[in-house]
Structure 1
């Protein structure tokens, strides 16, 4: 990916992608910059209870690859500006909350980094994250330490998460990562290379190495779920009754007139 500031339009929002070409962080091993495919981007808000207005996080999807026992999603997270204090709002607190995560994930209370699913609308099937015995997702360690704040400010850190195996016949899926929804992602084959020497490399310095031991202990149980269409028939609104015309009230008489005395005849 060429360096510079590029824009990706998603849902009417322009996401700056210049952070993917940011300069490497001092102290990290310098490796040749690989091509950085961008298959989709989205802005994700924080769910922290702080009153401070927090910078939205940029989620970028780089690849979805079939490996021996899983489908690995490569994506990066970062901030166009200053990243928030991880003690106030770590990256794991971003997304739209457990209500969204539990829609496709079987583990309640999933974090942003644990929550992803590939969605095949044609077969109405979702492929969620593989789970370790303790219930957490098989995924890269999240960049939520104080040192990661520098690496996330104005740049991005690459992550991976292992999803359930997607059948070979499925070529394109939609992706849900937390509350970020990216459509039309092709499914490739093989891990992304070159591999960086750190677990969560800065974007542009290589790809994280997928933990094959974690893949081996990951369970696909409850990871493949059917999508259930929900159709609710709303009752027809009752017509508003027409107002009943009211007859005008008769005016009351002001008084009863007294009878006039009849004239009496005179005798002669």
Structure 2
């Protein structure tokens, strides 16, 4: 999902949101309430929602700011006023990996907060300090255990500094993608302690970017992305790891549930992946690896991952340059890139990864 709005609509009175919904409590009063920047909004239903009781969360992007050699992203999360199941679904549980607590493995992957430099096609993601903690909002403090419908709470994340000259960017946060977002100078004020929930309109998390320059190798939090990257709402994501190019394709687009036969949409995505492989100038052997989530038995998942890899390899091989060989393997559920505790995390783990050695973007 992408969201885009004109510059004249990017300031809204506290409480006014799309479709006439109200957050922050009570009716909006244009003459009395402070103005809160709204740079983009999106709705997302809870992973635990049932067909009759639905928890609908509102994601609102408030700011992308330059400050002391860093970039700070501000956004808020909250249940919409018409939410009917908020008592049974927590914001933390629903957005545990989509709320800005950017997940990183030992080989750092893209988290769910990113600012995209579209000129250089690079994604700037939350910084992880030497104590292995994210320089972003801690959900245990920023989000209440029992948030009420109609109230939103502010979050933030600190990212590496954007290059000079970038005044607009694409931003991904809490599973939503927002385009043409202005990049402004200075932290948002008034600043409030970030060790307790902050309602929208009551201030912004206190951020101290000092010390960011002491984090070793900030470059590891900046990733190359392609125009067909998952960060831009596509089923194909391209990244580099050392001398290798890794291309991930979302399995939910390639296959139906528990199947290894390619869907009608799969050929288009595989062609996109093949284009990326050719751009990477492959040398020698290309490996296609299937991955699953943790649902079901391990042996079943292993077998399914192998069969899915074989299906993709068979389709992509004729699209590659002559002299390139294709091998397959399955990893089952053994190499997750997100939490298997949420539906969104499981969806990320269901993928087919194509490894191109010696690739170059």
User: What is the Cα deviation at residue 161 of structure 1?
Assistant: 0.7
Kindly report the root-mean-square deviation, in angstroms, between the aligned alpha carbons of the 2 structures.
3.7
**Equivalent residue, structure 2, for 1:2:** 13
Which is bigger in relative contact order (C-alpha 8 A, separation at least 6)? 1
User: What is the Cα deviation at residue 3 of structure 1?
Assistant: 5.1
**Equivalent residue, structure 2, for 1:171:** 167
**Equivalent residue, structure 2, for 1:207:** 204
**Equivalent residue, structure 1, for 2:135:** 138
1:146–1:181: structure 2 CA closer, same or farther, 3 Å change rule?
A: closer
User: What is the Cα deviation at residue 96 of structure 1?
Assistant: 9.8
Name the CA distance, whole Å, in 1 between partners of 2:123 and 2:143. 35
- Point out where structure 1 has 5 or more consecutive residues left out of the alignment: 8-13, 24-31, 237-268
SS at match of 1:222: helix
Larger Rg: 1
1:143–1:92: structure 2 CA closer, same or farther, 3 Å change rule?
A: same
User: What is the Cα deviation at residue 78 of structure 1?
Assistant: 0.5
**Equivalent residue, structure 1, for 2:63:** 63
Name the CA distance, whole Å, in 1 between partners of 2:186 and 2:14. 26
**Equivalent residue, structure 2, for 1:36:** 36
**Equivalent residue, structure 2, for 1:186:** 182
Contact 2:142/2:153 (8 A) holds in 1? no
Contact 1:132/1:214 (8 A) holds in 2? no
> Normalization by structure 1: what TM-score?
0.64
User: What is the Cα deviation at residue 214 of structure 1?
Assistant: 7.2
Contact 1:106/1:222 (8 A) holds in 2? no
SS at match of 2:41: strand
> Normalization by structure 2: what TM-score?
0.49
1:195–1:232: structure 2 CA closer, same or farther, 3 Å change rule?
A: closer
**Equivalent residue, structure 2, for 1:127:** 124
**Equivalent residue, structure 2, for 1:224:** 222
1:190–1:128: structure 2 CA closer, same or farther, 3 Å change rule?
A: same
Q: Tell me which protein shows more helix as a share of its residues.
A: 2
Name the CA distance, whole Å, in 1 between partners of 2:138 and 2:89. 17
What pairs up with 1:41-60 in 2 under 5 angstroms? Answer: 41-48=41-48, 53-60=53-60
2:94 aligned with 1:94:
yes
Name the CA distance, whole Å, in 1 between partners of 2:66 and 2:188. 10
User: What is the Cα deviation at residue 196 of structure 1?
Assistant: 2.9
Q: Tell me which protein shows more strand as a share of its residues.
A: 2
Name the CA distance, whole Å, in 2 between partners of 1:119 and 1:22. 33
Name the CA distance, whole Å, in 1 between partners of 2:167 and 2:17. 27
Name the CA distance, whole Å, in 1 between partners of 2:139 and 2:215. 18
What pairs up with 1:2-21 in 2 under 5 angstroms? Answer: 2=13, 5-7=16-18, 14=19, 16-19=20-23, 21=24
Instruction: Say how many residue pairs are matched.
Output: 211
Name the CA distance, whole Å, in 2 between partners of 1:46 and 1:184. 27
User: What is the Cα deviation at residue 106 of structure 1?
Assistant: 4.0
